[in-house]
Amino acid sequence: MSIDQLAETAQAMVAAGKGIIAIDESTNTIRKRFEAVGIESTEENRRAYREMLLTTPGLGDYISGAILYDETIRQSTRDGVPFTKVMADAGVIPGIKVDKGAMPLAGFPGELVTEGLDGLRDRLKEYAKLGARFAKWRAVITIGEDMPSGTCIEANSHALARYAALCQEQGIVPMVEPEVLMDGDHDIDTCYEVTEVTLRSLFGALYEHNVMLEGTILKASMVVPGKSCPEQASIEEVAELTLRCLKSSVPATLPGIVFLSGGQSDEAATAHLNAMNQMGPKPWPLSFSYGRAMQSAALKLWARDMSGNYAAAQQTVYARAKDNGLAALGRWKS
């Protein structure tokens, strides 16, 4: 696989006015989401729910790619059409979550390091055969007393860089996701500092591991105050600080940056993205790779009538995709 092909995929992922839908919840996470709306997390229910999402009419109008979970990339519609074929027909690039989750970092109580490097080369080979053209690996950085430690940031950056290099070796675009969590009562300036040091460490590690940035996508968290911080920030402040932080730490050669929603409301996630895209020249397209902020309204509607009439849920998926697609151009109106 040449760098040109990787770059082409990366650019298609952040095509103007398009973004990514993250539907790669692990079995444990989707069980929690289903339980919240009174649905049992059986394999068939998970399949049916993902079929509803992926068969949304017109999904490809605003969605460039979807991140799947290991179980999902092997599944098909009720009529037997593989999900990857449904996606190809809709112009939606298949992506795959390949990390094995964030585990406690030994020696650093309260901090996490993402696992999943062992055997990754062979798993990537299989995913490529199944049709995946990009992958995702999520690292988690927690803000707290004396946290994050430099060790936690470095261990996660190192793992992200090894993952990214393996992806490119197999012709898969790595989406690198260092998520700085919103949990806690820290202020927005603390989030800025932690995000900046994390991103600088990540891009240092990518450089050391010979990762080609032209064929890489960053999935970033926004610079926001902790959820329990008494002083919350305006949309403009979040947009301005996030953009400043990214400009100070992300090389201009990167084809694009997409954001996670991280527990923000649907409206806030869209408004923040829109505000950033209204803020004048920037070196890369800024778009979305939302999980909850794309799905939460649709999940509630689907749970009410999962037996087949899910037009209302799909209309919500389309509406969220459209709003976020417009926000990726700075053209969304609340």
- Enzyme catalytic residues: 177, 219
Q: Which of residues 252-311 bind ligand 13P (CB under 6 A)?
A: 260-262, 290-293
- CB of 4: closest distance to ligand 13P in angstroms? 27
Considering beta carbons, is residue 51 or 177 the nearer one to ligand 13P?
A: 177
Nearer to ligand 13P, 29 or 77 (CB): 29
Q: Which neighbouring-strand residues pair with 290?
A: 21
CA distance 124 to 292: 26
Site string for ligand 13P, 35-64 (x = CB under 6 A): ------------------------------
Element (H, E) at 330: none
User: Residue with structure tokens 């895209």?
Assistant: 277
Q: Examine residue 22 and tell whether it contacts ligand 13P (CB under 6 A).
A: yes
| Positive or negative: CA dihedral 114, 116, 117, 121 | negative
Q: Of 272, 253, 260, 183, which Cα lies nearest the Cα of 220?
A: 260
Report how far Cα 322 is from the mean position of its chain's Cα atoms. 17
**Using the rule CB under 6 A, which residue among 18, 50, 138, 158 binds ligand 13P?**
138
Please list every residue from 144 through 203 that binds ligand 13P, using CB under 6 A.
177
223 within 8 A of 186, measured Cβ to Cβ: no
Q: How far is the CB of 22 from ligand 13P (least distance, A)?
A: 3
CA distance 251 to 174: 16
Number of residues that bind ligand 13P (CB under 6 A): 11
Least distance in angstroms from the C-beta of 321 to ligand 13P: 14
Pairing relation of β-strands 102-104 and 112-114?
antiparallel
The residues that touch ligand 13P, with contacts defined as CB under 6 A, are: 22, 24, 138, 177, 260-262, 290-293
